[in-house]
A and B are shown apart, each in its own frame.
Chain A
Amino acid sequence: MTEARYAVGIDLGTTHCALSYVDLAGSQGDDIAQAVMRVPQLTGPGAVEDLPLLPSFLYLPHPDEFAAGDLVLPWTGHPGMILGEMARSVGAQTPIRLVSSAKSWLCHPGVDRRAAILPVAAPDEEVARLSPFDASVRYLAHLRDAWNHAHPDADLASQEVAVTVPASFDPAARELTAEAARAVGFDRLVLLEEPQAALYSWIHASQGEWRRQVRVGDVILVIDVGGGTTDLSLIAVTEREGSLELTRVAVGDHILLGGDNMDLALAHVVKNKLAAEGKVLDPWQVQALTHGCRHAKEALLADDSIGAVPVVVPSRGSRLIGGSVRTELTRDEVARTLVDGFFPEVAADARPAARSRGALTRLGLPYAQDPAVTRHLAAFLGMQTGATDDLPGFAARGGSFLHPTAVLFNGGVFKAGALVERVLKVIDAWLAADGAPPVRVLAGADLDLSVARGAAYYGYVRRGGGVRIRGGTARAYYVGVESAMPAVPGLDPPIQALCLAPFGMEEGTEAGVPPQEFGLVVGEPVRFRFFGSAVRRDDQVGVLLDAWPPGELEELEEIEVTLPADARTPGDVVPVRLQAAVTEVGTLRLEAMPRSGPEHWKVELNVRNPAGQ
């Protein structure tokens, strides 16, 4: 394999993708040659532009919808489907053909992620649907083709590629992301958690100054609110042999709540105001209104002296002046809907009204779960009270929640200074109530591009160019074991949890093999219940839990293993043990192995859901 010339970082986002790269030969120490690739994409029929972001939208056009020659890209005359900016704008008018938020579907445990289910609203026989997995492959393939077109002498497949995933992605979603990357040919692949990428980007941007901006004992809280998800991580600053080290000590739950929800919420407020005046908007106009509200919001949140910003919803027909609807967005509406609605001032012991997992909030759907980011944050810090207890230099700190000392914001939402201020105010109030000093803000991040930039920088760091964030897996993993107790009618048989992978497993390591054996039926798929814990840091491999406090273990999707029938009699029961490993790529691998012999079988984390619902 040829030597990689570039370290490439790919932010595969819910609403946008971006690609950044570091020229490895031209970089040394803190002096790094980095750039963001502008991505050629269709912006309208027959028009191709190079933009810094690739919107994560895919449009499946009707054969009569566009002239054949109008859908071209620099590297192909027949892309077949439309991807990026044009997909987003055309899809706003024809949503039944638009695939959006594929990433949220990729981590949706209730669906088969390899089944062609998107767009959900597409009429059955008209549109050839895609699976969430296929959509991710398409976005990555577009970035690959764009890269290869711009760098004919440095094929992306032979570069070091880091693809980012939310820190809260479960093992199955990480595995799917890695598979999508492999499907487009990325062999030198690693996965990187987005909040870590944001911190890497901050480190890089500080040009070595970061060592003066943090100190041993700091706990950095990364709050990453993207277009579709909110992702939380805690990173502790430790010391080893005299130099600073960073250790990621905790990650939050998967929260499907992002900037798009906020803009849509504002649009609904204005839409209802118009409806009260008897003006009804069609879906196209609501889309335009959402757009207008985003601009108005940014204007209002940037300047305290403005009381209201006019919002005009353009007419759909050619009569612009006669057909447009004029209204305004007031400071009060923004404060109520956005600042108080999504970032309310709550106490440190506040908790979200419902668990966000399992239900999917998409554009156009009402927010069924708690939209309050601050309550999710309170729950995260409250749950992670003991996150730093095992680290040297972090005395057990008491308090009702883990005290962060610094905050790094990421995501376009935080372009609004008022939201940053509100989050800081809330956290500082919690800290003050516990007698702790306020947090510092780690400033200077590029809110839109820092994840891609940080991922590219990470590729450079991995080759020995700078400080690395350590921490390993942010969860311990358990397999469910039905206990040998007499069944009680009306009650599920009690279940025990056997620890397979301890908290903090580093990439490229294997866990021990617990002695417990499981009977596999030859030739038949056998399923196990599977659990993760973001708080049980001390469980070692083989620990068998009979009971656990509520919330400490979270049930993940079932895992499945099938013993091939070759050289065995179908129907026989073979006793196996289960072993966990974390691959170099950063995915969890589970294998079943018999009592003796070299055989082992892969345990599938992504189980096809036969119901396909």
Chain B
Amino acid sequence: MAAPTPPAPRRLSLAFAAFWRILVEPAFASAVARLRAGGADALADASRPAPGRLQEAEPNAALQLLGLLQQEGRLIDFLEEDVAAYSDAEVGAATRVVHEGCKKALRQHFAIEPVRSEAEGARLTLAEGFDSSAVRLTGNVVGRAPFTGRLTHRGWRVTEVRLPKVAAGHDLSVLAPAEVEL
């Protein structure tokens, strides 16, 4: 799909934006270099979708986190139990253990803050170039930025990860060891 040619003022701002991105983003710089060297062929290459690159998520950190949530907050015990057999009061009591423990594990190992600082329900405007992985547009998604809408969820972002270091060879698949009292 060919995009329309931008008008002159917009091309000026595009040139400045490209100038800075070439300076600070090595990947962007090499893509522009390829574009300059290859001319129309490179343009054609760029317009053809590249094959998606996927990688396996590393399971160790996930196992480690599950282990921590079980150890501190008994999360696996809680989720593996059949809640249908118990009253809300009983489930509620157990939830305190899970909530307190998992919260402690979370606080200890991650620094988490909201993506948007505005109160939920507030109207806000997203400028062009907003980070679409941090802010998701929903509902009547049409037109072009700036977008104005209502904040329905503030989002969460991890700003620091402090997972324990793991001994080489430690079996992380054991989330909680069986306990045998002698």
Contact = CB atoms under 8 A, between A and B. Distances in A.
B91 interface: yes
Interface stretch (B14-22, B46-54, B72-80, B136-144): B72-80
A47 B68 CA distance: 10
Given A44-B164, A49-B162, A67 B77 contact: no
B94 A312 contact: yes
Q: How large is the interface on B (under 10, 10 to 19, 20 to 34, 35 or more residues)?
A: 20 to 34
A568 interface: no
Nearest to B78: A320
Interface string B154-173: 00000000101111111110
B93 A318 contact: no
A321 interface: yes
Most chain B CB atoms below 10 A, which of A44, A46, A47, A320: A320
Contact of A322 (B86, B100, B108): B86
Contacts of A321: 78, 81, 83, 86, 90-91, 93-94
Contacts of B166: 46-48
Interface in B123-182: 162, 164-172, 177, 179
A317 to B, nearest CB: 8
A45 B170 contact: yes
B165 A69 contact: no
Q: How large is the interface on A (under 10, 10 to 19, 20 to 34, 35 or more residues)?
A: 20 to 34
Nearest to A43: B164
Contacts of A69: 167-170
B97 interface: yes
A46 B90 CA distance: 34
B58 to A, nearest CB: 17
B107 interface: no
A319 B77 contact: yes
A320 B96 contact: no
A488 to B, nearest CB: 59
Interface in A17-43: 40, 43
Contact of B77 (A40, A48, A310, A320): A320
Nearest to B181: A93
A74 interface: yes
A462 interface: no
Contacts of B80: 318
A70 interface: yes
A319 B81 contact: yes
Given A48-B164, A321-B81, A322-B81, A70 B96 contact: no
B94 A320 contact: yes
Nearest to A295: B100
A48 B74 contact: no
B167 A46 contact: yes
Contacts of A314: 74, 94, 97
Contacts of B100: 295
A320 B85 CA distance: 13
A569 interface: no
Most chain A CB atoms below 10 A, which of B77, B80, B177: B77
Nearest to A310: B96
A70 B67 CA distance: 15
Contacts of A44: 67, 71, 164
A322 B90 CA distance: 8
A46 B85 CA distance: 36
Contacts of A50: 162
Most chain B CB atoms below 10 A, which of A67, A70, A72, A321: A321
Interface in A306-324: 310, 312, 314, 316, 318-322, 324
